[in-house]
Amino acid sequence: MDIFDWEELTAEMLNVTDDEREDDNFLAQKFYEKFEIEFDLGFQLAQHLLFHTVPIKAGLSKNKYHAFVSKKSPVMLMKIEPVEAD
């Protein structure tokens, strides 16, 4: 998981377009306006919250991940490495 995954997740949450993301500060500003916390602190929070998501199985690899998923398409936007098998 890296900052790019966080940017993708945040952009989807806030309906920010790729064109708007050309401005390096736009996404961070929108995030602050919505949640009143700095973008980097939001990333740190999301990293910790990932451990509290329900594990899901990846379609191709069949590995299990804790992940935030897209509401628009069947992809994981931010994930942590595979969860140990049951």
Query: What contacts 45, CB < 8 A, 6 or more positions away?
Result: 37
Query: What contacts 11, CB < 8 A, 6 or more positions away?
Result: 17, 18, 21, 27
Structure tokens at 58: 């990846």
Query: What pLDDT shows up at residue 68?
Result: 95
Tell me the C-alpha to C-alpha distance, in Å, between residue 54 and each of 2, 3, 24, 33, 69: 20, 21, 32, 29, 11
- End-to-end Cα distance, the chain: 23
Average pLDDT over residues 19-43: 97
Q: Would the pLDDT of 86 be above 90? A: no
Average pLDDT over residues 29-46: 97
pLDDT-derived band at 83 (thresholds 50, 70, 90) equals: low
Query: What pLDDT shows up at residue 85?
Result: 57
